Chains A and B, each alone.
Chain A
């Protein structure tokens, strides 16, 4: 069981695709202009990651080393296309919101990176779990980024939610005459906010490390959370 805990911890924090590995940055930065877009794309990404980790873990014995990358890509691209078509057909509203960002999942580095680093070496359940957790790790970061950018940029949250749930509507948090801070929504803002998030993570890590060290000094075992990457 602790293995799954480690997988979860890795995906959510320690090996977090964005904060720790800096992979999958393009969709992260391009789509996080508001919270709704960010979460929607994040959910689609989770789906693809789970499916591809599952499929490749299942098929890994059949794939020769030399052509593993093309085969992985083939599988991921096929899965993405299937998800894309399925969304188009069955969840048309969501599909319209996400538009071109679904095909873009193919080139999200973390999908391939996880497949190559984890699914190709591990069992079915662990791999699926890894896909899920890595995906969740991606979602919370992109959601946070989207929320901050939307809030600073427009003073709102959940704008555009009506496109998914027609009964709901976005929330104007800051006064209506808030002039907005356009840069937050533009590419530079994406970089700035992500930089601040990473610095925040560094700060938390440093604090945790200090704790561990203090524990050490008092001769207590540190909280064990160590699975090699």
Chain B
């Protein structure tokens, strides 16, 4: 009994001291993982994931408090990347957080806009310009398509327009679905 206590006590003192020392000496600051996760998120800042922006969601994932399948704008692609980064299993997009939509931008109907500035306050990326009581306009190249400006508008003058494809942005389709629209001469 006594030997047992002595032997274990000896070990405990040595290990405890070493660990305590190491814990202080090798403490790390900051969390590089959050940055890595945030870099994957689409930065739409739409809040559909249930967090007030992409960064908070990234922090929640890093802490293990959120699933990786809650960001609809990031889509399956984003979930795959997160799963890869974190070594977790892929999961399909969680239905309760929304569905993946084609990328769109907001368009303000300048005829109806009353210049209330409510949309300006709502836009997380400052993509709307205009002043009080003046018509407002979305800078399309900066709009992330988060739709946050839609609800506050009192006259419902904002609509989401899917981005049109051009020869420059056209993508080769996945080979299984081969689509070659043969257009009849229009003129």
Given contacts A66-B23, A228-B65, A229-B64, contact A213 B16 (CB under 8 A): no
Tell me the interface secondary structure of chain B in the complex.
Answer: helix
| Complex Cα gap A66–B19 (Å) | 7
Cβ contact within 8 Å between B20 and A67 = yes
Cβ contact within 8 Å between A213 and B20 = no
B66 CB contacts on chain A under 8 angstroms: 228
Contact of A212 among B23, B24, B95 (CB under 8 A): B95
CB of B15 within 8 A of chain A?
Answer: yes
CB of A92 within 8 A of chain B?
Answer: no
Cβ contact within 8 Å between B15 and A70 = yes
Given contacts A228-B65, A229-B64, contact A213 B95 (CB under 8 A): yes
9 pairs of residues in contact across A and B, judged by CB atoms under 8 Å:
A65-B23, A66-B20, A66-B23, A66-B24, A67-B16, A70-B15, A212-B95, A213-B95, A216-B95
- Which residues between 181 and 229 of chain A lie within 8 Å of chain B, taking CB atoms? 212-213, 216, 228-229
| Complex Cα gap A228–B95 (Å) | 16
B23 CB contacts on chain A under 8 angstroms: 65-67
Q: CB-CB contacts of B54-90 with A at 8 A, as 1s and 0s? A: 0000000000111000000000000000000000000
Q: CB-CB contacts of B13-53 with A at 8 A, as 1s and 0s? A: 00110011011100000000000000000000000000000
Contact of B19 among A70, A212, A216 (CB under 8 A): A70
Number of B interface residues, CB 8 Å? 11
Q: A67-B16, A228-B66 are in contact. List 16 more A-B contacts (CB 8 A).
A: A65-B23, A66-B19, A66-B20, A66-B22, A66-B23, A66-B24, A67-B19, A67-B20, A67-B23, A70-B15, A70-B19, A212-B95, A213-B95, A216-B95, A228-B65, A229-B64
Tell me how far the C-beta of B122 lies from the nearest C-beta in chain A, rounded to whole angstroms. 28
B16 CB contacts on chain A under 8 angstroms: 67
| Complex Cα gap A65–B24 (Å) | 11
Number of A interface residues, CB 8 Å? 9
A216 CB contacts on chain B under 8 angstroms: 95
Tell me how far the C-beta of A201 lies from the nearest C-beta in chain B, rounded to whole angstroms. 12
> Which residue on A lies nearest to B92, using beta carbons?
A209
B22 CB contacts on chain A under 8 angstroms: 66
| Complex Cα gap A8–B15 (Å) | 37
Tell me how far the C-beta of B57 lies from the nearest C-beta in chain A, rounded to whole angstroms. 14
Tell me how far the C-beta of B117 lies from the nearest C-beta in chain A, rounded to whole angstroms. 36
| Complex Cα gap A228–B50 (Å) | 14
| Complex Cα gap A66–B15 (Å) | 12
A213 CB contacts on chain B under 8 angstroms: 95
B95 CB contacts on chain A under 8 angstroms: 212-213, 216
A65 CB contacts on chain B under 8 angstroms: 23
| Complex Cα gap A216–B96 (Å) | 9
| Complex Cα gap A81–B11 (Å) | 18
| Complex Cα gap A212–B65 (Å) | 23
Max count, chain B CB within 10 A of own CB: residue among A66, A213, A216, A229: A66
A228 CB contacts on chain B under 8 angstroms: 65-66
| Complex Cα gap A213–B64 (Å) | 26
B20 CB contacts on chain A under 8 angstroms: 66-67
| Complex Cα gap A216–B98 (Å) | 12
| Complex Cα gap A10–B105 (Å) | 41
A70 CB contacts on chain B under 8 angstroms: 15, 19
Closest 5 CB pairs of A and B: A66-B23, A67-B19, A66-B19, A213-B95, A66-B20
Tell me how far the C-beta of A17 lies from the nearest C-beta in chain B, rounded to whole angstroms. 15
